[in-house]
Amino acid sequence: MMARGSRVAWSILERLGRFDGGSNPPYPIFMRKADAARIYAALLERYPDARERPETVARGTPFEVLVLTILSAQTTDKAVLKVKPSLFSKYPTPEKLSKAKVADVEKIIHSLGYYHAKAKNIIAASQTLLDEFGGNVPGTMDELLTIPGVGRKTANIVMYHALGKNEGIAVDTHVRRLAQRIGFSDTDNVEVIERDLMAVFPRNEWGDLTDVFIAHGRATCDAKKPLCTECVIKGMCRWYRDNRALI
């Protein structure tokens, strides 16, 4: 049976949004801000160009970033950038894309996977921009989340890279894996992971944190074969601490 002190602690965690109340157990994750700062500094030193990724969907007009980020679900930015020229030469504005036929858009984006749903989403998103926001990409998180195909990850990317606002942290597959391994979070719920990261990183780093974690995830902290012995943050990583005897 859980002791009264523990129950109180879990209750506090729940109120703080650090326990999702679902199948994941409550967890006493208290990564200190000072540790987060050391980890971020070490990763920035290791990947000085992480924030300048050449192959990213997060460059262009707000409309382009919105559409490309919707298309990037379950695929790579590189694959999306391949269809970018043909898509926007035919449909350069929300007006044009909102009037497109689904089958015509599918022909352009069929290499991306889930292309039927994605084609419908970017057409519907364009229609929403016209109907609700005067043809512009809206500037608040709440408004962005009303657009078809847009979840918090997409909204965070658009907010930071297209509109210059640090409202949250885009949690993609790399960010989720690193947050769990390093010890920032202990849940699969990406919204809780985002809140855990926001609690220890200063707001002015939120937008870039995703790119820095992506760089580390690609170069070192691979999903199947993390190169822990070469990792610049292994001394601060929970996964390394717990598994180093097996490495």
Contacts 24+ apart (CB under 8 A), 176-181: 177/217, 177/221, 177/223, 178/213, 178/216, 178/217, 178/221, 179/213, 180/239, 181/221, 181/226, 181/237, 181/238, 181/239
As measured in angstroms, the least distance from the Cβ of 226 to ligand SF4 is 4
153 is catalytic: yes
Which amino acid belongs to residue 193? Answer: I
Cα 126 to Cα 94, 104, 111, 202, distances in angstroms:
5, 15, 21, 33
Q: Is 104 a catalytic residue?
A: no
Catalytic-labelled residue, pool 172, 186, 196, 211 = 172
**Least distance in angstroms from the C-beta of 240 to ligand SF4:** 4
Residue with smaller CB distance to ligand SF4, 9 or 228? 228
Closer of 64 and 196 to ligand SF4 (Cβ): 196
DSSP assignments along 80-130, one per residue: HHHHHHHHHHH--SHHHHHT--HHHHHHHHGGGSSHHHHHHHHHHHHHHHH
What distance in Å separates the CA atoms of residue 3 and residue 78, rounded to the nearest whole number? 51
> Minimum Å distance from CB 142 to ligand SF4?
34
Question: Would you tell me which residues interact with ligand SF4 (CB under 6 A)?
Answer: 181-182, 220-221, 226-228, 231, 233-234, 237, 239-240
- Whichever of 128 and 180 has its CB closer to ligand SF4, that residue is 180
Pick 63 or 240: Cβ nearer ligand SF4: 240
CB of 56 to ligand SF4, least distance (A): 22
User: Of 241, 225, 224, 222, nearest to 182 (Cα)?
Assistant: 241
Could you give the residue numbers annotated as active site? Answer: 153, 172
